[in-house]
Structure 1
């Protein structure tokens, strides 16, 4: 076992001890008692048979009592130990599941959530906290089984030294099982990606958004068939590896049974007493159970170690990709934000989605970013928010490289509404309040944010107002419309304290024309207020040129490059991409109004 694995197992043991000290102590004591009773039960059984044959009454009673008590302790200790271990593992498993979730969330970027090798490890660990917690007890149980095995081997030695060979022949099944389990672990790792693909297809068929398209297209059977094909491939590979493991284990058992039959014949032909023959039969049957338990324990241990490897990988990734605490962002912006020859690729050596972008955004400016789909608009925002780091070039905030600013502190000074805003299944108060956890209990702040977002009207019509549970998965059965969810997201953004960057990524995409106009005017008013107070820069990503025209500065992106900058008037005079797209959209809207 590697040092990192050993450390992780000890960590799990420490968690178990802290969570349930009394139960953990009982588990250890019962395991020790279980090991000792193997020896005492064997000696009592041999003495009972020999005493009975020689008619020694007192010795018969003592031997019977020792054997009975030992068997009773052995039988019940194992059962009680298993129940206690399950209780401890369940409790520790919840703690481990929470830690795994923390590992996923503590990284300040989001690029790890797009890496297949990262997602493979997540799929191996997700909801397996119990298995991780059990890994320390599986190792302890394996040690207990080995101790019982050694006690049985000592009993064989007490009959005749040659019979130790019978005990040693119990080792091959364990070693061969371990060899087979190594292949099983490799196959589990190799098929993790396919298992994720199968799960993704099933989710596509049941998630409300994608399920509509699936039903209209009649693609449900296709998705189910494809998912079944992938699952068949996964299970076929895993079943094949487990079949090989069974063959290895069976080979070991055959070797053991041949040795056992030879030992029984050896004692029967005159190398032991009647009590020793009975003891050999009893020990051999115990050996079989002990070996099976050892094989089972080793299997559970190795399965736990497989999950533990993925857990350790995630912990290591979190450590190596966590940025050390650096300088804090400024209290307010005075100069602004500058891009200097910034380029970005989502994959190392892959296609550049941003190419040598250079620009300067003065403090307090409202900026619109426009362009065709795939032009790099959202990527620009992602870099500003430090969800990703530039591949080349540098971003400066008030002259200070953004890479030298603590990402945690910087993101705490960002607010906004993104395309994929959350549909949090909780009360309205909490849905809005999590935008600033420090102020979540302040009802005036929450109501002010809702009013700023134009959401107070529909919230007041809800059955319990701010306390109403919203979302289709809550008991209240109050599911806001998409436009109302977007207003709640906007209110959540308005809760932030003193943001230096205010991001609106398609902020009115789910609203009707009247609501869009009202909300956008409110957003612009809020942006101007932030700009005057803190020098906050507001970045609006939009396809609606009527909204873009109200910005102080318009950035026009095309194929990953910044091709035009200026305000609406100057860009229209330029007669370039912006003017062309604006006129096309204006004609389309006018045509639609004439048709109505």
Structure 2
């Protein structure tokens, strides 16, 4: 018995759990605009009592008309009726009913406006919160396909659930209206309310069931939905248009999109048909209860128990109450369904990063004294059986220019991400000036490191902003932006743009100018120089540059990296030979280390790779 009760309570807690997010929703909406939230609630409170007042005034008008009809007629001249004073009470009631109608319309418009503005403010704030929170998460979390699904669901709820705010306020308003109407009906026939509730409960349970089914279907279809979004992007993006045309991929993409879309449509349509069929049955039960009650009210009026005004009031109240109760029950089931989706957003906000600053984080030394040291470092990506790096021992001395070479998958980029603490080692540790990297302030550490990855972002901002985001607190410092552009040789291409540093880049927005791959790369390198960091890391920085541009960039890099710590990753040996030391990686560990001349003379892996590349130029 106790075990069964415990199971029931556990299920109740499980089902009620998502409703706690309604508090989070309201708290976020209140934060977005306390004045609009207050205005919406007050306006709806006023609207809630108008229906019962209107029905009661209508009852008084009908009873007044019936009473006048029983008195001797004063003829057809309206002025005689007005002068007699017999219409004074009716005129007051008609004026009051007109005023209630105007007030209802005005309050409806005002509350709709408040809800609309509040929803927009909420959506904007939730979007900012989503971006801010996503930025705090670990790179490994964001790279996980499961977490990408989670982020995609959260992103959809930022704008997809704004109507829920209005629905919640509307539900609260309807509850107050139901209570006021029920109070009037209880005085006449309390059993009618019980009958109506019993008739509407099956519909509520049915809607609740189908809402849960709909959410479950949508939840497990997230990977397929992301596939649809990706295929839609591939088939209609300027970035992919060239290869789509050259390889004739439009038919292939359309066929794959259709296959995913048809499968989702089949499941969605099946659920919709079942929902509609049961909905008709449940609506019929509600109608049966209403007309049974309506017959009783009519019969009691005919038998003399109710007046015509009572009949009008009761019929109108019961009809209105039926609609409100039906709407409340269905609305509650819809809210219960939406709450499941709302959990996608607020449970994402509850996700916490693993890579954070220590409680008593140390400041990063300035300047760096001894540099970095990897001690038996290993890192394995989540869900992977193989190690990206393992038993790695590596030093990067302060002021040294270090080049990392090796075949694809040797662990070069992983080392860079570990150095910038985008990842933490799975085993071993990384020291900076003899202190574990995890003991330093995370934000300060990353601020002291400038990294440009091969897959750098092409921001569709202005040229100046593309460079300035390398040091966001100096985004408006034009002198610093121009100096960074000069260091990367990007100033020459910016000088050719019609609007120079104010020129929007990319084709996504109006007046945008697209750049070649090499030109984008110079902008990205300028972004790294913008930081004026102690540690400068270039991961395949010249992959899209021609030979002359590559030579110029690295001549400049060698000059600018003097006195700084630098890491250079490149497959081009003409580039890496300018480094103080070259480290050759294989299987996630160091297999050779030394200068270009020493490694060539040793005749090992580096010499073999160098000869293979050099033979291509003979």
* TM-score, scaled to structure 2: 0.87
| Distance in 2 separating the partners of 1:320 and 1:490 | 30
Q: Does 112-121 or 393-402 show the bigger shift?
A: 112-121
Q: Does 448-457 or 169-178 show the bigger shift?
A: 169-178
SS state at 1:369 partner:
strand
Q: Does 377-386 or 127-136 show the bigger shift?
A: 127-136
- After the TM superposition, which residues 256-271 of structure 1 pair with which residues of structure 2 at under 5 Å, given as runs? 256-270=286-300
Alpha carbons of structure 1 residues 404 and 322: separation in structure 2 relative to 1, 3 Å: closer
| Distance in 2 separating the partners of 1:98 and 1:300 | 27
Q: Does 56-65 or 484-493 show the bigger shift?
A: 56-65
Is 2:583 the counterpart of 1:555?
Answer: yes
Alignment match, 2:53: 40
Alpha carbons of structure 1 residues 475 and 68: separation in structure 2 relative to 1, 3 Å: closer
Residue 422 of structure 1: how far off its partner (Å): 2.3
Alignment match, 2:206: 176
Alignment match, 2:612: 584
Alpha carbons of structure 1 residues 240 and 285: separation in structure 2 relative to 1, 3 Å: same
Deviations 1:200-219 (A, max 9, x none): 11212233443322222211
Structure possessing the higher radius of gyration over alpha carbons: 2
Deviations 1:238-271 (A, max 9, x none): 3333444444544432222121121122222235
Q: Does 545-554 or 321-330 show the bigger shift?
A: 321-330
Q: Is the 8 A contact 2:212 2:337 kept in 1?
A: no
Deviations 1:171-204 (A, max 9, x none): 4433432332122222221112211111111212
Residue 123 of structure 1: how far off its partner (Å): 1.9
- After the TM superposition, which residues 393-404 of structure 1 pair with which residues of structure 2 at under 5 Å, given as runs? 393-404=428-439
- After the TM superposition, which residues 244-255 of structure 1 pair with which residues of structure 2 at under 5 Å, given as runs? 244-255=274-285
Q: Does 329-338 or 580-589 show the bigger shift?
A: 329-338
| Distance in 1 separating the partners of 2:89 and 2:289 | 33
Alignment match, 1:282: 316
State the Cα RMSD in Å. Answer: 2.5
SS state at 1:538 partner:
strand
| Distance in 2 separating the partners of 1:199 and 1:451 | 40
Alpha carbons of structure 1 residues 394 and 301: separation in structure 2 relative to 1, 3 Å: same
| Distance in 1 separating the partners of 2:341 and 2:362 | 37
Residue 148 of structure 1: how far off its partner (Å): 1.7
Q: Is the 8 A contact 1:180 1:245 kept in 2?
A: yes
Alignment match, 2:553: 519
Deviations 1:530-580 (A, max 9, x none): xx2xxx321111111122222222222223232222222232233222111
Residue 445 of structure 1: how far off its partner (Å): 2.3
SS state at 2:542 partner:
coil
| Distance in 2 separating the partners of 1:257 and 1:296 | 15
Deviations 1:45-65 (A, max 9, x none): 223333322327555445444
Residue 220 of structure 1: how far off its partner (Å): 1.2
2:234 corresponds, among 176, 187, 204, to 204
Alignment match, 1:10: 26
Alpha carbons of structure 1 residues 324 and 202: separation in structure 2 relative to 1, 3 Å: farther
Q: Does 350-359 or 320-329 show the bigger shift?
A: 320-329
SS state at 1:421 partner:
coil
| Distance in 2 separating the partners of 1:474 and 1:518 | 32
| Distance in 1 separating the partners of 2:107 and 2:236 | 46
Residue 425 of structure 1: how far off its partner (Å): 2.3
| Distance in 2 separating the partners of 1:299 and 1:15 | 27
- After the TM superposition, which residues 29-178 of structure 1 pair with which residues of structure 2 at under 5 Å, given as runs? 29-55=42-68, 60-107=90-137, 109-126=138-155, 128-168=157-197, 169-178=199-208
Question: Gaps (5+ residues) in structure 2?
Answer: 1-15, 70-85
Q: Is the 8 A contact 1:343 1:357 kept in 2?
A: yes
| Distance in 2 separating the partners of 1:124 and 1:408 | 28
| Distance in 2 separating the partners of 1:513 and 1:172 | 75
| Distance in 2 separating the partners of 1:64 and 1:387 | 73
Deviations 1:374-393 (A, max 9, x none): 22211111111112222111
Is 2:516 the counterpart of 1:488?
Answer: no
SS state at 2:342 partner:
helix
Alpha carbons of structure 1 residues 469 and 10: separation in structure 2 relative to 1, 3 Å: closer
Q: Is the 8 A contact 2:418 2:425 kept in 1?
A: yes
Residue 41 of structure 1: how far off its partner (Å): 1.8
2:499 corresponds, among 458, 464, 474, to 464
- After the TM superposition, which residues 437-476 of structure 1 pair with which residues of structure 2 at under 5 Å, given as runs? 437-476=472-511
| Distance in 1 separating the partners of 2:205 and 2:97 | 32
Alpha carbons of structure 1 residues 166 and 73: separation in structure 2 relative to 1, 3 Å: farther
Q: Is the 8 A contact 2:468 2:481 kept in 1?
A: yes
Alpha carbons of structure 1 residues 491 and 144: separation in structure 2 relative to 1, 3 Å: same
Alpha carbons of structure 1 residues 4 and 403: separation in structure 2 relative to 1, 3 Å: farther
* TM-score, scaled to structure 1: 0.90
Alpha carbons of structure 1 residues 291 and 231: separation in structure 2 relative to 1, 3 Å: farther
Q: Does 378-387 or 121-130 show the bigger shift?
A: 121-130
| Distance in 2 separating the partners of 1:444 and 1:37 | 64
Alignment match, 2:408: 373
| Distance in 2 separating the partners of 1:125 and 1:201 | 21
Alpha carbons of structure 1 residues 239 and 291: separation in structure 2 relative to 1, 3 Å: farther
| Distance in 1 separating the partners of 2:587 and 2:33 | 57
| Distance in 2 separating the partners of 1:555 and 1:113 | 30
Alignment match, 2:9: none
Q: Is the 8 A contact 2:44 2:111 kept in 1?
A: yes
| Distance in 2 separating the partners of 1:321 and 1:298 | 40
Alignment match, 1:593: none
Question: Gaps (5+ residues) in structure 1?
Answer: 591-596
| Distance in 2 separating the partners of 1:288 and 1:82 | 24
SS state at 2:504 partner:
coil
Residue 399 of structure 1: how far off its partner (Å): 1.0
| Distance in 2 separating the partners of 1:420 and 1:523 | 20
Deviations 1:249-298 (A, max 9, x none): 44432222121121122222235333333333322332343245435643
Alpha carbons of structure 1 residues 431 and 161: separation in structure 2 relative to 1, 3 Å: closer
Deviations 1:110-153 (A, max 9, x none): 22222233222322232643444443443222121122223233
| Distance in 2 separating the partners of 1:36 and 1:203 | 51
Q: Is the 8 A contact 1:135 1:300 kept in 2?
A: no
